[in-house]
Amino acid sequence: MADEHFPGWHGTTIIGVRKGGTVVVAGDGQVSLGPTVIKGTARKVRRLSPGGMDVVAGFAGSTADAFTLLERLEAKLEATPGQLARAAVELAKDWRMDKYLKNLEAMLIVTDGKDLFVITGAGDVLEPENDVAAIGSGGNFALAAARGLMTSDKDAETVAREAMAIAAEICVYTNGNLTVETITG
């Protein structure tokens, strides 16, 4: 749900690739306001460790909104240790129903190394087909590139990095300054 007063922040591509028992989440570092690059080194992929559980999350959208969602996800993970799917569904329900949360402008890719999900403000918790998920301004470019690379002998990190490089060449809101986190299931 777009707000007509929302300043037009763009500039994220996040990809999650699962291959060979490894999941890689990579994100670019560009944040733009309209046609202006505000920052090129933002860190939009984070490692969370609620209750000793290892989870990697990447976000697209408003940074403050994403941090709010990451805090809520951590709380859900602490309440449901070792159950990423349940925590993701609980977060998505809250996000869709809560008066404050439903106005947040962000999307998440989360993984514990076994499961890989996209969580949206529409109440969706999506498991990607073909072991690739992508969100953000260049998400469709990265998704298409990664799906094409998945049949190669390349490992998950190489697929993610090469897909992000392709997205950065096509999407003006995506740069090649990557944060990459790897996790095994």
Percent of the chain with pLDDT over 90: 71
Which one-letter DSSP state was computed for residue 104?
A: -
* Residue 184 annotated in active site: no
Residue 6 pLDDT level (bands cut at 50, 70, 90): very low
Which one-letter DSSP state was computed for residue 52?
A: G
| Helix 84-97 / helix 63-79 crossing angle, nearest 10 deg | 130
- How far is 96 from 102, CA to CA, in rounded Å? 5
- How far is 97 from 106, CA to CA, in rounded Å? 15
- Please pick, among 12, 13, 111, 174, the residue that the annotation labels catalytic: 12
Asked if residue 165 has pLDDT above 90, the reply is: yes
Residue 10 pLDDT level (bands cut at 50, 70, 90): low
H or E stretch including 1?
A: none
Class of domain 9-172: alpha beta
For 53-103, write each residue's pLDDT tens digit.
Answer: 899 999 998 888 889 999 999 999 999 999 999 999 999 999 888 888 888
pLDDT at 9: 46
pLDDT at 127: 96
For 129-159, write each residue's pLDDT tens digit.
Answer: 999 999 999 999 999 999 999 999 999 999 9
Residues 6+ apart with CB under 8 A from 81: 51, 52, 53
Asked if residue 39 has pLDDT above 70, the reply is: yes
pLDDT at 169: 97
Asked if residue 118 has pLDDT above 70, the reply is: yes
pLDDT at 18: 98
Sheet containing 36-39, strands listed edge to edge, beginning at the edge strand earlier in sequence: 9-10, 31-33, 36-39
pLDDT at 2: 44
Residue 11 pLDDT level (bands cut at 50, 70, 90): low
How do the domains of the chain map onto residue ranges?
Answer: 9-172
Averaged pLDDT of the chain: 91
89 alpha carbon, distance to own chain's centre: 16
Q: What is the pTM of this model?
A: 0.91
